[in-house]
Structure 1
């Protein structure tokens, strides 16, 4: 069997993979929701959904640092990676052990394509089709909800020291657009450093979202950024909802509705 991954590389497999290692937290959750938890033999320490997975399955490192000896010992049939989460060096090293599928996600369409590919790869076509159908339904309902909502200018922070935001050419930016949020840093790409000068102020930003991951922003950080955004509402955001591109998206749009309603109430005060 030959399949393409999202980098358009051909992956040759003798059979449906039975022993899977996932090096991406959102993809681990996706696999479990497709009914493949029993096939997982290795995950990362950041794979927190389902909550018991790192207890029941061997942890083989993080997303940027892996233990190749552990991976080899697990004798996987396939290793699942992501272009952004994992380095090329990790992918190359894993390919010396077994076939590697690499995802590359920038849009909802990319996410649904990944689910479709996993459906074929792991003989879960019906489950994948149902998940994609549910996702399309969630998107449709959310777009109807937003129909008469105004566009809000938003800055989405992912890191501190240095302060970094999600800008253009990212999955987060795509979801911001779906939320009718105009990214204050849309002229930048990927994850630029900002707030490099204490004197800089952004007067036109309505909302600053401080993500829960990869940097775990807390209440205290609201006060640190408020001076840079004097007119903005500073809000702690669930980073999983904005950056996990697997089955977590089935829960994300209800969260986005709640977030928007909360913002409207606060901005009206």
Structure 2
């Protein structure tokens, strides 16, 4: 079966489940894991600017898309010529069924179940000592954070953090003053590439707060990625517990 994936975390999951470059024949430029495998797969644009002609030339049997990461009109255009599976992952349960369905679709049920069990193990065994209030920033100019109906929020909650913007939805714009309640300000490595200089900018407003860069993939890449983040979460929690 020839597959085109329009979603970075799903591309990673396909290879983790045991598919090969002979099966995954198209990917976005943001599909970077696993590096040694994806380098051999044709790039068909970005998640938001798909090159439909390139995809047509590949003649895939199936295209995997995502409600949030891809543009509706582009996905609908592909549906005219190809079988397109559109995913939507907001919760841990959604993630479970994503892997289960990929396993069924590509005859990798056992491997999918192994990753699902490992994901639940990672999230159940990695907890902070007490609820720590956090603000998780995904963008700058303007600052944007995450509401309670996002996958990032669910991962934060699962490992014991309390999102101070849990009363909001999706990705609201906020002001620097809105961060006052947070014990920790987390600056995600993606989609905006926060760096040390951005920590210093916020430290001018909040000199006594803990402000840290966090691995955006560990919180936002659904599929198989969370199952591989146990050491990262343990290190993060160990650091957070000193707040």
Q: Same fold (TM over 0.5)?
A: yes
Q: Displacement, 1:54?
A: 4.2
Q: Distance in 2 between matches of 1:76 and 1:249?
A: 28
Larger radius of gyration: 1
Residues matched between the structures, number: 242
What is the TM-score normalised by the length of structure 2? 0.95
Uncovered stretches (5+) of structure 2, i.e. residues with no partner: none
Matching of residue 166 in structure 1 with residue 141 in structure 2: no
Question: Residue in 1 aligned with 2:181?
Answer: 204
Q: Distance in 1 between matches of 2:206 and 2:136?
A: 12
Question: Residue in 2 aligned with 1:260?
Answer: 237
Question: Residue in 1 aligned with 2:88?
Answer: 104
Q: Displacement, 1:165?
A: 0.7
Q: 1:119 aligns with which of 93, 103, 115?
A: 103
Q: Which residues in structure 2 correspond to 1:204-243 (within 5 Å)? A: 204-243=181-220
Relative contact order (C-alpha < 8 Å, sep 6+): which is higher? Answer: 2
SS of 2:39's equivalent? helix
Q: Distance in 2 between matches of 1:44 and 1:65?
A: 9
Q: Distance in 2 between matches of 1:204 and 1:192?
A: 16
Alignment root-mean-square deviation, CA? 1.5
Q: Distance in 2 between matches of 1:61 and 1:174?
A: 29
**Conservation of the 8 A alpha-carbon contact between 1:28 and 1:47:** yes
What is the TM-score normalised by the length of structure 1? 0.86
Q: Distance in 2 between matches of 1:98 and 1:201?
A: 45
Q: Distance in 1 between matches of 2:193 and 2:209?
A: 20
Counterparts in 2 of 1:59 and 1:175: CA distance versus 1, 3 Å:
same
Question: Residue in 2 aligned with 1:24?
Answer: 7
**Conservation of the 8 A alpha-carbon contact between 1:25 and 1:46:** yes
Q: Distance in 2 between matches of 1:109 and 1:201?
A: 31
